[in-house]
Structure 1
């Protein structure tokens, strides 16, 4: 979606049949050795202390690891990795689930949930439209990437944990004080701020703390026993590194941005999460898993960039691929799946993103070719 374009309706993804036009489910023979070779080549292409590529093809899993760091007491494939912005796929699924079960509406104004005195908002200027939950998850709220005063507060901890200096109360207050410059739903602009606000709105709507809400409604039902929202220790969590690939960084502390980037998970749990998207039938959250595959807006040249409520979607020769990346101060993650080939990919590395970094292009190309 571009500026001036007709905005996508915010809630078609809530109901109706899933459009699987062009998607097939033909199973092709899986050459295990060929898969291992391709994953090993992908691992070798990434220069980082720890690298993990985990792939599922029609339910058959292969995990390959490597990296420049020496062997550790805990194998790489058993550690939890920071998802960064890939956490938004969990948040999008949660919103779809709460909507599908009728607990709330995606058209609900976020400010009314966070501040009941704003129902209706007496301070709203003529013609001003409320920011809804659907606007927040689809990055069409008109909010900036981060609050205006974020950088001033974060600067003293810029190399360690800048988000930790911006707590939940300040995220909510910044949103409630924000003045619109564009009508919600008219322009796409990626916003960690917006998804963070969404998390607080969902917590307020359900009267449930965010950690309990996501764990109880998504992580637990899907059986993601190794996933969590707070740092562990070296026995459970991978250690991130700066751009030099040698200097360790502390575990990510997200402050008030939990919904935008708090998830950390093992490769096996991530494959379980992605496999549920590949085959939603007869699973917990079936309706939501189907809903998050449905396109909600298109933007860019030729409308190539298609978005669902939780995923970026690009075309391939045989059908669409869904993906989302994430990066923290010391780690990177890539999640994706292809219903047409029954393939899911979770890739992680423990080195901060650099210009011309090979990690994301390698993971994207691998998924596109599988």
Structure 2
């Protein structure tokens, strides 16, 4: 990056480390799948931390558990609508679905019963599930957002049960290794930061514990580095490395529920936090465990992401720092659009393009790729959607009002497309074309 951009980013990092009084702080920016800038302030022991120094991720762990669950879904091993009872029988929250657990709408209690789980050695699955009686469900499943660490302990067990091995073995083999994330582990290995609490009224430190969380570990156990978390941030931005399809990662980033319901700024997809900030829709997650804070956010629209790690329990504006680094990067060095190049389009697909009418309202159909089209009003707001080919004359809605609905191309006796049937609504080349099968018919006297 430009030296002036790097200086601006580093100054923002330095200001946060000094004003927040954190022992050390590392951060980085990714763009289009690559780590393009990183910086560090403070000390880990007597040395400056670097891109290979481990910090605890906290709840960013949840995004990796969610990825393992979505891999199972894509293989047909489960459905997101499955009640958890189908795969983990004998719980007191049997009706909560996999999707509800992923999106924090299961109504399950936020923390595990008993001692403060983040600071004490964790129990195994049998002890955890035994502690979760009927009172552990605080809200009706599906009613509203209620963040649940317990829910991801449950999802970790789900992954382990269906794969027949511990959840971290699954994450390492199916996700971390393919992505080259060799320094992401359940416990610190090699160079790592110790976690501290900073006294609120004096410049002194208190070491924090980092026990194994047992069955709750899927909610926040993992440690990682700038290099590895940069790769993960890029993964959530769409550089999936074959671990999941781009469509599935986009599904994970699609908001299911909002945290703040008045004018939402934060919500959740499937294990992924969604943040609305200055007109952007960002995806990622934050993390907090005793002695550590973390944040990872990416803008899929620009390919720019930012990540931050620190070894302090509280007091660091870790999320705002990530937002600022991301925003500064795109303002100081805006990404150039991809060069336009002509492409080859099937003539039969090209014949569908142009003007169509929903009743009297004109729409344009455009080809976006070999198997992608868009249908949108010629002007103003309306029911615009993109569609993916599922057959010679059938298309599946990907977004907007017609998400999940089928568009079927209707043809006359000569094989010429003369109408589109979109969830029973008929689009025609001219308004209310009498040659098309319009329910209710077309007045025989025509327009007058």
CA contact (8 A) 2:41 2:49 kept: no
The Cα shift of 1:336 comes to 0.8
Tell whether 2:198 aligns with 1:243. yes
The Cα shift of 1:181 comes to 4.6
Tell me the number of residue pairs that the alignment of Structure 1 and Structure 2 aligns: 319
| CA deviation map 1:30-78 (0-9, x unaligned) | 5343134323322331221111011113335211001156632x74322
Tell whether 2:183 aligns with 1:226. yes
SS at match of 2:38: strand
Instruction: Classify 1:144/1:55 alpha carbon distance in 2 versus 1 (closer, same or farther; 3 Å).
Output: same
Structure 2's unaligned 5+ residue stretches are 330-448
Tell whether 2:287 aligns with 1:326. yes
Measured on the aligned residues, the alpha-carbon RMSD in Å equals 2.6
Q: Corresponding residue for 2:155?
A: 198
Instruction: Classify 1:282/1:207 alpha carbon distance in 2 versus 1 (closer, same or farther; 3 Å).
Output: closer
Moved more, 341-350 or 312-321: 312-321
CA contact (8 A) 1:172 1:200 kept: no
- What is the rounded CA distance, in whole Å, between the counterparts of 1:327 and 1:60 in structure 2? 23
The Cα shift of 1:317 comes to 4.4
CA contact (8 A) 2:119 2:209 kept: no
Structure 1's unaligned 5+ residue stretches are 1-29, 155-160
Q: Corresponding residue for 1:104?
A: 78
Q: 1:85 aligns with which of 59, 73, 80?
A: 59
Q: Corresponding residue for 1:258?
A: 217
Tell whether 2:308 aligns with 1:337. no
The Cα shift of 1:270 comes to 0.7
- What is the rounded CA distance, in whole Å, between the counterparts of 2:154 and 2:10 in structure 1? 37
The Cα shift of 1:196 comes to 0.9
Q: Corresponding residue for 1:34?
A: 5
Q: Corresponding residue for 1:64?
A: 39
SS at match of 1:77: coil
SS at match of 1:76: coil
CA contact (8 A) 1:231 1:251 kept: no
| CA deviation map 1:128-149 (0-9, x unaligned) | 9701111111111111111333
Q: Corresponding residue for 2:256?
A: 296
Tell whether 2:237 aligns with 1:278. yes
The Cα shift of 1:333 comes to 0.6
* TM-score (norm. length: structure 2): 0.65
The Cα shift of 1:332 comes to 0.8
Q: Corresponding residue for 1:141?
A: 106
Q: Which runs of 4+ in 1 moved over 4 A?
A: 176-179
The Cα shift of 1:150 comes to 3.7
Instruction: Classify 1:187/1:351 alpha carbon distance in 2 versus 1 (closer, same or farther; 3 Å).
Output: same
* TM-score (norm. length: structure 1): 0.77
| CA deviation map 1:258-293 (0-9, x unaligned) | 210011111101111111222336633224323222
CA contact (8 A) 1:56 1:62 kept: yes
Instruction: Classify 1:204/1:283 alpha carbon distance in 2 versus 1 (closer, same or farther; 3 Å).
Output: closer
CA contact (8 A) 2:252 2:271 kept: yes
SS at match of 1:105: coil
CA contact (8 A) 2:109 2:148 kept: yes
- What is the rounded CA distance, in whole Å, between the counterparts of 1:68 and 1:212 in structure 2? 32
Larger Rg: 2
Tell whether 2:142 aligns with 1:185. yes
Tell whether 2:168 aligns with 1:168. no
Instruction: Classify 1:273/1:32 alpha carbon distance in 2 versus 1 (closer, same or farther; 3 Å).
Output: farther
- What is the rounded CA distance, in whole Å, between the counterparts of 1:293 and 1:210 in structure 2? 22
Instruction: Classify 1:165/1:312 alpha carbon distance in 2 versus 1 (closer, same or farther; 3 Å).
Output: closer
Moved more, 342-351 or 249-258: 249-258
- What is the rounded CA distance, in whole Å, between the counterparts of 1:89 and 1:174 in structure 2? 25
CA contact (8 A) 1:306 1:312 kept: yes
- What is the rounded CA distance, in whole Å, between the counterparts of 2:169 and 2:216 in structure 1? 15
The Cα shift of 1:175 comes to 3.5
Q: 1:215 aligns with which of 163, 172, 182?
A: 172
**If each structure's strand is expressed as a fraction of its own residues, which one has the higher value?**
2
